[in-house]
Structure 1
Amino acid sequence: MIQSFVYDKEEQRLAVRFVSGKVYTYDDVPAEVAEGFKAAASKGTYFNDVIRDRFPFARSRSRGR
């Protein structure tokens, strides 16, 4: 489900790339949430339980998809 992600601590912005190639950017994500995501054994479960539908987000344009 999750291919990769990058967290910008200063901006509190989390960019998540899914295996589909789609990239979504989540705003106002606390550092503790990003650290929990990084440490989670199942990134998909953590994402669904803690991040999805809980923070403002936008789909980023990805090239080639």
Structure 2
Amino acid sequence: MNAPVRIPLIDVESRQIAAIGHDAATQTLAVRFKNWKGENTSLYHYDNVTAEDYAALQAAESKGGHFNKVIKADPVRWPYRKVEDRPLSDAA
């Protein structure tokens, strides 16, 4: 299995998402989540996310709401995998 691509993350204002990033070449979305305490937790990668999809997430007033309604709601279109349990750096 290939190592996951490293994707720089940017912090976002959200109760459930700490940071997001995108790699256009691989169409991979990186999402660092928060726990109920607001602490950074697991990092996931989502496949088949276009630059337009990522721009829509960035522009959304509610990042968590958009993510849940659009990306998380369709795991067939956007398959995902857990990359790490805890943050190790500012890149994914």
Q: TM-score, normalised by structure 2?
A: 0.64
Q: Which moved more, 1:47-56 or 1:34-43?
A: 47-56
RMSD: 1.3
1:49 to 58, 69, 73: 69
Identity of aligned residues (%): 39
Where in structure 1 do 4 or more consecutive aligned residues deviate above 2 Å?
Answer: none
Is there any run of 5+ residues in structure 2 with no aligned partner, and where? 1-15, 36-40, 88-92
Is there any run of 5+ residues in structure 1 with no aligned partner, and where? none
In structure 2, give the amino acid aligned to 1:58.
R
1:2 to 7, 11, 17: 17
* C-alpha contact (below 8 Å) 2:20/2:29 kept by paired residues: yes
Aligned length: 64
**Which has a greater percent of helix?**
1
SS at match of 2:20: strand
